[in-house]
Structures are given as C-alpha cells and as structure tokens.
C-alpha cells in the first residue's frame, strides 16, 4: 500500500486538514465508521461501491459511485466501501465547517454515501482530475490540488469564516447553551448554522467528535499493547474513556449505536488489523 500525505502550510491550512494519496489493491475495501471530517475524493483508479456493512443478505443493494470525484458523504453512518480493482485516489480532508467553501451547497446536502461532483462543483474539478492522471509525481499532484483549491477560495465570501472556525473549536469543549450565549444566537438559528456548515446539529457533531476521540484512543492503546506482546483484550473498553460519558453503559450504548459494534469488538478488530492505528475510523479488509 502506498500512502503519501501533504499538510498545507499556507492560507489553505485554515480550510484543509490534509491531502492524502492512496494507492494499492489492499486499500480499496473496508469498513468506514462515522468520521469528523468530510473528504473530497478524486479517484484515479477503478470505481468504488458502497453498501450496508452489517447486512447478511447477499442480494442487498450495492451502490456504485459512478462519479469519479465526490464528497465521501454522510458522516454519522457506517458503511462498507468496496473496490474490485486497483485503488488510486487523492483524498482531501476538509476541516470542520469548511464544506460550503468548496462545494456550491450546504454541508447537510452532502449527507449521502457519495455525492458526485456534478452536483456541487464546476467542470474545473474534472479538468483537475485529468491533470492528476497525467501528473509526473504525487508531489506535483499535491501542488495542483492546492492551487485549484486556493483559486476556489478567492471567489468565496469569507465574511463568516472566523465565526465558523470558532464554532468548530467550541464544539470540543462547550455545551449548546454556552455556544448560543457566546454567539448571541437562539438554538434554532444555531441548528440551522450548524447544518449549513457542518452537516448536522451541534449535538450530533459533538457526538461524532467524541466517537472519533474514542476510536483513536482504543486503536492506539490496542496497537501499543500488541507491540508489547500482550494478549488480546477481553474488557468492553477502557474506563479511562468514560470521562465524557455518564457511565459505562452509556458509553457502550452510544458506541454501538454509532458503529454497529461494541467497544470490545472494535478492540478485537484493532488487534487483528494493526494498520487501523493510522486510520481509526476505517478498517481496510482483505477482499
């Protein structure tokens, strides 16, 4: 598997967390768990498909992403991503609240498994894809993407940017009531604002943030324990994770509601697939 990362250092770093190039037969199929950041995919390989990860019906519908450029879609659903051929793609990880600055629609309208760029972008992004296909190196591809995104931002109204950035930070530490008071907003207006920029209510996005913290903590701890030669975990999560939950029962219930599995089952997956420490909300599975 070939994974290369680029972290923007100029003006783009306010909007984009990272850009990854991912290539390899073993990287195209796996389980995607709820994630904090929405991602723009520019596909250079074979087409992907999405389906319900927990269905037992072999005839269950599988949706092929006919678009070659898309937003990865609904943040709070787990789904199975499949690719029968060679995976090659650039993945642009947007920071919280930044979807509307790159897509010509509110973030909540991207909440499907995969929303093709024909619904939210100009033909320029497909021209970018053609340039990436002909690019001499991945590093040159990163620069092409950075220049394209910067040109998009030059035509955007950034008047609300500081408020959106503040709200993205506040979600980590403040309640809905505290945020409303700080911004001088009603709950109804805050909900509308959050749906536009973040794709859901503040409370729901906070739940996804909390889950991603949990996934990262479990994956890192399990990988570390495996490296030290410890035996496979048997407990249902670590009590150190409970500082953000009412009690252990609430922790397990919330985890299962969002991922479809228990913390123990996730830890066992981490034990089996050690690479998950680098991608805690995506488990690459053998075909």
Given this model, what pLDDT does residue 30 score?
Answer: 84
Given this model, what pLDDT does residue 59 score?
Answer: 56
Q: What is the mean pLDDT for each group of 10 consecutive residues in the chain (287 residues)?
A: 88 95 79 85 86 64 69 74 85 93 90 81 94 95 97 93 96 95 96 94 92 89 71 56 74 90 90 81 78
Q: Are residues 104 and 180 in the same domain?
A: no
Given this model, what pLDDT does residue 77 score?
Answer: 77
For residue 207, tell me if it sits in a domain: no
Q: Are residues 13 and 105 in the same domain?
A: yes
Phi-psi group of 260: left, alpha or beta (phi > 0 → left; psi -120 to 50 → alpha; rest → beta): left
SS3 77: coil
C-alpha separations of 198 from 38, 86, 128, 154, 181 in Å: 9, 32, 26, 21, 19
For residue 205, tell me if it sits in a domain: no
Provide the β-strand partners of residue 40: 71, 92
Task: Say if CB 40 and CB 107 are below 8 A apart.
Answer: no
Residue with tokens 């498909």: 49
Q: Are residues 52 and 173 in the same domain?
A: no
Instruction: Convert the chain into a string of H (helix), E (strand) and C (coil).
Output: CEEEEECCCCHHHHCEEEEEEEECHHHCCEEECCCCCCEEEEECCCCCEEECCCCCCCCCCCEECCCCEEECCCCCCCEEEECCCCCEEEEEEECCCCHHHCCCCCHHHHCCCCEEHHHCCCCHHHHHHHHHHCCCCHHHHHHHHHHHHHHHHHCCCCCCHHHHHHHHHHCCCCCHHHHHHHHCCCHHHHHHHHHHHHCCCHHHHHHHHHHHHHHHHHHHHHHHHHHCCCCCCCCCCCHHHHHHCCCHHHHHHHHHHHHCCCHHHHHHHHHHCHHHHCCCCEEECCC
Please give the Cα distance from 19 to 101 (Å, whole number). Answer: 16
Residue 98 tokens read as 């930044």
CATH number reported for the structural domain that contains residue 76 in this entry: 2.60.120
Given this model, what pLDDT does residue 237 score?
Answer: 47
Question: How many independent structural domains does the chain possess?
Answer: 3
For residue 84, tell me if it sits in a domain: yes
Task: Say if CB 41 and CB 70 are below 8 A apart.
Answer: yes
Q: Are residues 134 and 115 in the same domain?
A: yes
Q: Are residues 172 and 278 in the same domain?
A: no
Q: Are residues 41 and 135 in the same domain?
A: yes
Q: Are residues 148 and 176 in the same domain?
A: no
Q: Are residues 193 and 220 in the same domain?
A: no
Q: Are residues 135 and 46 in the same domain?
A: yes
Residue 77 tokens read as 């659903």
Q: Which domain holds residue 252?
A: 213-284
Q: Are residues 117 and 186 in the same domain?
A: no
């Amino acid at each position: 598997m070939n994974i290369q990362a680029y972290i923007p250092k100029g003006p783009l770093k306010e909007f984009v967390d990272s850009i990854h190039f991912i290539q390899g037969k073993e990287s195209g199929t796996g389980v995607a768990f709820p994630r904090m950041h929405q991602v723009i995919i520019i596909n250079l390989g074979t087409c992907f498909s999405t389906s319900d990860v927990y269905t037992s019906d072999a005839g269950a519908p599988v949706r092929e992403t006919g678009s070659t450029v898309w937003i990865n879609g609904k943040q709070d659903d787990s789904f199975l991503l499949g690719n029968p051929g060679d995976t090659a793609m650039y993945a642009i990880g947007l920071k919280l609240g930044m979807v509307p600055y790159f897509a010509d629609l509110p973030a909540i309208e991207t909440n499907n498994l995969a929303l093709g760029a024909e619904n939210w972008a100009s033909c320029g992004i497909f021209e970018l894809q053609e340039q990436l296909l002909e690019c001499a190196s991945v590093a040159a591809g990163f620069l092409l993407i950075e220049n394209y995104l910067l040109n998009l931002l030059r035509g955007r109204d950034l008047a609300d940017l500081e408020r959106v950035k503040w709200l993205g930070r506040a979600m980590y530490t403040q309640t809905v009531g505290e945020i409303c008071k700080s911004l001088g907003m009603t709950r109804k207006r805050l909900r509308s604002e959050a749906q536009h920029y973040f794709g859901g209510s503040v409370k729901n996005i906070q739940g996804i943030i909390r889950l991603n913290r949990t996934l990262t903590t479990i994956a890192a701890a399990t990988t570390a324990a495996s490296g030290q030669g410890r035996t496979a975990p048997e407990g249902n999560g670590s009590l150190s994770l409970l500082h953000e939950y009412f009690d252990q029962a609430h922790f397990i219930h919330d985890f299962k509601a969002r991922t479809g599995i228990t913390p123990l089952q996730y830890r066992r997956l981490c034990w089996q697939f050690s690479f998950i420490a680098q991608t805690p909300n995506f488990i690459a599975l053998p075909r």
